[in-house]
Structure formats: structure tokens, C-alpha cells
Amino acid sequence: MRLLAIGAALVLLSACAQTSLPTSANVTDWQTFGKQPALDGLIELSEERIAKLDETNRATPELVMAYQSGYQEGKKEYCEQSAYMLGVRDMPYFGICDDIDPFFQQNYESGRHSTAGEY
């Protein structure tokens, strides 16, 4: 359990450390930039975090909204998967579906503690 928590923290930290904003001002690029982390189950970047990462001041309000829109689209898709199977596969879960499905965490934990994934 402790090892899983440490591993999950490392995944989250490495994702944050490697985050670089799109180099373009293309709305589609920013939507994709938002969608992919959500599909990976990662936590959404705040506007403040985006501002800190934005060394060239290219993150206009429109582009931040595109990021947020892409993130919500990816989050919806991520949260449609089986939480139980996510747990069975022992994948990390950072709580992004809790506001959509109040039982997601519980189902994920049930999957983590099941023997379904054992041979």
C-alpha cells in the first residue's frame, strides 16, 4: 500500500515537472493539451499553475478556456471507464471522477482489493 502511494506520488510529480505548455496559440493544440492529462487520470492544472508555466505570456484567457474544455472532455471519457477494472489493473487513481460519480473511488478500491487480476 505504501509503495503504491509513493509510486502514485512520483507519477504525479513527474507529470507536473514535465508539463510544458503548447508553443502555439492554436485553440486545438490547447484543447489536446488539456484532454490528454485527463485521459491519463491526472489532476487539472489551475489557472495559477498555467500562469507560472507560461514564460512567454502566450496563455491568453481563450487558450486557458480551450485547455479547460479539453480537460473536461478527457475527464468525461476517463470517468466512463470501469473504476473497478482500473483498480484491478492496479492503475493509479487521483480522484478526478469523485465529483461525477460518488462511487468511483469505492469501486476503484474494490477492484484494487479483488483477486480478479491474479493468475
Indicate the number of domains in the chain. 1
Q: Is the pLDDT of residue 56 over 90?
A: no
How much is the mean pLDDT over the chain? 86
Is 50 within the bounds of a domain?
A: yes
Three cell numbers, residue 35? 484532454
Instruction: Specify whether the CB–CB gap between 33 and 64 falls below 8 A.
Output: no
pLDDT at 57: 83
Instruction: Specify whether the CB–CB gap between 103 and 17 falls below 8 A.
Output: no
- Out of 13-17, 25-29, 33-37, least confident range: 13-17
Q: Is the pLDDT of residue 6 over 70?
A: no
User: Mean of the pLDDT values across residues 63-90?
Assistant: 97
Is 29 within the bounds of a domain?
A: yes
Is 35 within the bounds of a domain?
A: yes
Is 14 within the bounds of a domain?
A: no
Task: Say which residue, 79 or 4, is predicted with more confidence.
Answer: 79
Q: Which helix (H) or strand (E) holds 4?
A: helix 2-17
Is 87 within the bounds of a domain?
A: yes
**87: CB partners within 8 A, 6+ apart:** 93, 107, 108, 109, 110, 111, 112, 113, 114
Instruction: Write out pLDDT tens, residues 95-114.
Output: 999 999 999 999 999 999 98
Instruction: Specify whether the CB–CB gap between 64 and 46 falls below 8 A.
Output: no
Enclosing domain of residue 95? 2-8+25-112
